[in-house]
Amino acid sequence: MHISDIQIRDPFVVPEDEVYYLFGSTDKDIWKSRGTGFDGYISRGGLSEFEGPFPVFRPPEDFWSETNFWAPEVHRYNGSWYMFATFKPKEGRRGTAILKSEGGVTGPYNPWSLNASGSSGPVTPAEWECLDGTLYLDAEGRPWMIFCHEWQQVADGEICLLPLTEDLKSAAGKPELLFRASEAPWASPLKPDPARNRLPGNYVTDGPNLYTAKNGALLMLWSSFGPDGAYRIGLAKSESGLVTGPWKQLKDPLYSADGGHGMLFHSVEGKLYLTVHTPNKTPNERPIFIEMIDEDGMVKPGKDIIS
C-alpha cells in the first residue's frame, strides 16, 4: 500500500534491522465506534510503500476497555517490546496503559500495566482524564511517562511527567506538571462551542514526543491548535537538559499545515524524519514523512517530504 492509501492517526515509526514498522490509531472511527484494536504496517524498502495491515493488538474478551483505542507507541526496553496506548475504561476515566509483546516488535501485545488499585488498566491517575503517554529513559536508565492531562478536565491542557517502576508495571510516584498549553505563543484556545463542551480558555495538549539533539539538548514535540483552527506541532526545550525541565516554548510552530501528533525517528540511512498525520479530519488522515535538520540543539524541516 502507498501511504496515501493508509488511514491512520498518531503515526509512530520503529526502524529495526533495516525495516520500518508503522503503528498508529487505525480504527476507522476512533471517536465513536467500538475499539477493534491496533494494526501495523511494514516496509522493507523506504517510507512510501508499506505491507499490511497486520493485527498487533486485539483486546481479550475480558478487556477493561471498549472505546477510544488511541495513539499506540512501541518501545524496546530491557530486551522486550512494550506498547503505550490510550484507552477509555468501561468504568472510569481515559488513560494510558502499557502492553507487552509476547514475541517481537509486531506483537501480539497483551495487557501488562496495573492501575493504582492493582488491577489491569492505565498507569495514569484514575481520577484524571489523560491520553498520549510516551516513554522516556533518563541518563540513569530510569523510565518515565510523559502524558497529557486533558483540557476537557482542566480547561488549559497540561503536559505531565510520571515515574514508572523498573518493570513498567505501574506508577512509581505522583505526577508532576511540566507545562500548560497556553504557555506556548503558537497555541490558541479552541473556538467556544457549548454544544461540544468547549468553553473560552480551553487549550488542547496532544502527542508529546521527546528527542535528544546531536548536541545533547532535550526537546519535546507536542500538538495543539492555532488561531486558524488548524492542528499543529510545537517544540519545547528543557532549559536544564533534564526531563523535569523547566521547559521553554519556542515562539513559532514546527509544523502548522493541519497536521499533528508527530514523532521523530532516524531512517535506516541515518536521516532524521518527522512523521505526522494530515489532514486532521476523519477519514482523510494520512501519514507523511518530512526530512528534518538537527542543528545547534534544534530541529527544523529540510527539503524532502514523502506523502
In CATH, what number is assigned to the domain containing residue 277? 2.115.10.20
Residue range 66-78: average pLDDT?
97
In a domain, 69, yes or no: yes
What average pLDDT does the chain have? 97
- What pLDDT is recorded for position 75? 98
Residue range 136-159: average pLDDT?
97
In a domain, 53, yes or no: no
pLDDT of residue 279 exceeding 90, the answer is yes
pLDDT of residue 195 exceeding 90, the answer is no
Q: Rounded distance, CA 251 to CA 245, Å?
A: 17
- What pLDDT is recorded for position 13? 98
In a domain, 14, yes or no: no
- What pLDDT is recorded for position 44? 95
31 against 223, higher pLDDT: 223
101-110 tens-digit pLDDT: 989 999 999 9
- What pLDDT is recorded for position 109? 98
In a domain, 8, yes or no: no
In a domain, 15, yes or no: no
In a domain, 27, yes or no: no
pLDDT of residue 60 exceeding 90, the answer is yes
In a domain, 80, yes or no: yes
Taking only Cα atoms into account, the Rg of the chain, rounded to an integer number of angstroms, comes to 18
In a domain, 21, yes or no: no
Q: Which domain holds residue 262?
A: 60-306
With cut-offs at 50, 70 and 90, classify the pLDDT of residue 177: very high
- What pLDDT is recorded for position 197? 86
With cut-offs at 50, 70 and 90, classify the pLDDT of residue 76: very high
Task: Tell me how many domains the chain contains.
Answer: 1
pLDDT of residue 32 exceeding 90, the answer is no
